[in-house]
Amino acid sequence: MTMEMPSLTNELFDAIHSGEICPMLPNKSWGIHCAEIPEKCIVISEVVMQHVSDTGLVPLYIKQIVFDNKLNFEVYFLNSRIVLKNRPFIGQTIAGFEHVVAYINSLKLCAGGPDISQYSNIKLECAYKDPTDKWRHNLCTLEISGAEVCESCLSLGEVFKRHAQRNKPSAKSRKVVKSVKRKRVIF
């Protein structure tokens, strides 16, 4: 009977999960959470406080990295899983782990489309309301480079304007037609 030796990856995971090693995080808005159920994982997340009209300030998770016990990881922006354009290599060291967190921190998040309050009574099949009270296009990749807003979310401004114009009452329907009774004179 042979015993399987724990891999360096499992050792690193276990050391972080147990608190024996504490990775450096990019800034104070980032935190580390270790979960046991349904299986062991490490969640590194960036949180901000957001004002919600009926409940006041609530935490909003901007970015999350979820590591399994083999240090495979998934990335979430605004609680939506994203596929990274460039996936960093973690390796088997704390430096590699910290590099992944720093890389995710450096990624830019699309700012989204118009504010929900601007077009609150409209329902579109091509867009959804995100947790930051913005309209976001269904094709938004969330991760962007260069610009502040992706082209898909940028296009929503025009989509909403066209939608609003289509639903605006026309000038003809706004005219009030008065019926006037005329007296008939018979000679």
Answer whether residue 182 shows pLDDT above 80.
no
Record the tokens describing residue 42, joined without a space: 């490490």
Q: What is the mean pLDDT of residues 64-83?
A: 94
pLDDT for residue 7: 56
User: What is the chain's mean pLDDT, rounded?
Assistant: 84
Helix, strand, or coil here: 41? strand
Average the pLDDT over 93-102 and give the result.
94
Q: What is the pLDDT of residues 15-29, one digit of tens each?
A: 999 999 999 999 999
According to the model, what pLDDT value does residue 52 have?
Answer: 77
Helix, strand and coil percent figures for the chain, each rounded to 5: 25, 25, 45
Mean pLDDT of 97-103: 96
Most confident of the following: 1-15, 91-105, 113-127: 91-105
Cβ 152 vs Cβ 137: under 8 Å: yes
- What is residue 5's predicted lDDT score, i.e. its pLDDT? 43
Q: Is the pLDDT of residue 169 over 80?
A: no
Instruction: Decide which of 180 and 91 is more confident.
Output: 91
Cα–Cα nearest to 98, from 27, 36, 48, 29: 27
- Among 66-75, 89-98, 119-128, 152-161, which is the least confidently predicted range? 119-128
pLDDT in tens, 72-81: 999 999 999 9
Say how many CA atoms lie within 13 Å of 3 toward its Cβ.
2
